[in-house]
């Protein structure tokens, strides 16, 4: 298992460089993800059990339609009654929290990881992360990308094709590239 030093660093927002210990543990989760994606759709109990092993938590009556991809899986915490349509992509190098009653359309990406602008650091594969929080009863439309550090407030709706670069307050409709609040709900 990854040391607590790595766990803290991955969620700190500080620049880091991965080593072999991270890759070895990550392979365990990628194997679970492969099994999930290659389990027959009719085997719902088996798929649910795999998600229980893969994710940090997976709430009652939640469902993820395959195919599904994640850097880890274990850094994502999903509440109750969450529905995610096909092609959900989680770049969960830092924590992703998806609270109860969230709906996620097809082809959505939640990305906690990023790289520095400085070319010399990128050449060394430097990375830093910032957690994402999706509050209760949010609906994220198809082909939306949520970038590092974003919180989407309770009851809000993110329109299809949006690129969410900053926090979205509660009870609003927001969409666009970059995503912006259109009106209150």
Q: Into how many domains does the chain fold? A: 1
Give the model confidence (pLDDT) of 102-115 as tens digits.
999 999 999 999 99
| CATH number of the domain where residue 30 is located | 2.160.10.10
- Averaged pLDDT of the chain: 93
Distance CA 83, CA 102 (A): 6
Q: Return the pLDDT at 5.
A: 63
Active-site position among 115, 122, 125, 166: 115
Give the model confidence (pLDDT) of 120-156 as tens digits.
999 998 999 999 999 999 999 999 999 999 999 999 9
Q: Return the pLDDT at 11.
A: 78
Give the model confidence (pLDDT) of 21-44 as tens digits.
777 888 999 999 999 999 999 999
Range of the domain at 163: 4-184
Query: Around 72, how many Cα atoms within 13 Å sit in the side-chain half-sphere?
Result: 25
| pLDDT surpassing 70 at residue 49 | yes
* Residues facing 180 on adjacent strands: 175
Distance CA 167, CA 181 (A): 10
**115 annotated active-site:** yes
Indicate the length of the chain as a whole number. 185
Residues 6+ apart with CB under 8 A from 134: 96, 97, 98, 99, 102, 110, 140, 146, 151, 152
């Amino acid at each position: 298992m990854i040391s607590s030093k790595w766990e803290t660093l991955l969620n700190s927002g500080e620049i880091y460089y991965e080593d072999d210990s991270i890759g070895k543990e990550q392979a365990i989760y990628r194997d679970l993800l492969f099994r999930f994606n290659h389990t027959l759709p009719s085997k719902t109990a088996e798929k649910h059990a795999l998600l229980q092993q893969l994710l940090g938590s997976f709430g009652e009556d939640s469902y993820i339609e395959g195919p599904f991809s994640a850097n880890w899986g274990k850094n994502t915490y999903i509440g109750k009654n969450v529905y995610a349509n096909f092609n959900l992509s989680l770049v969960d190098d830092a924590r992703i929290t998806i609270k109860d009653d969230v709906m996620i359309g097809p082809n959505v990406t939640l990305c906690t990881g990023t790289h520095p602008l400085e070319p010399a650091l990128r050449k060394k594969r430097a990375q830093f992360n910032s957690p994402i929080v999706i509050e209760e009863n949010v609906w994220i439309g198809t082909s939306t990308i949520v970038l590092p550090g974003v919180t989407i407030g309770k009851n809000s709706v993110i329109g299809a094709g949006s690129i969410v670069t900053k926090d979205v307050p509660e009870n609003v409709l927001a969409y666009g590239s970059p995503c912006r609040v259109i009106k209150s709900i």
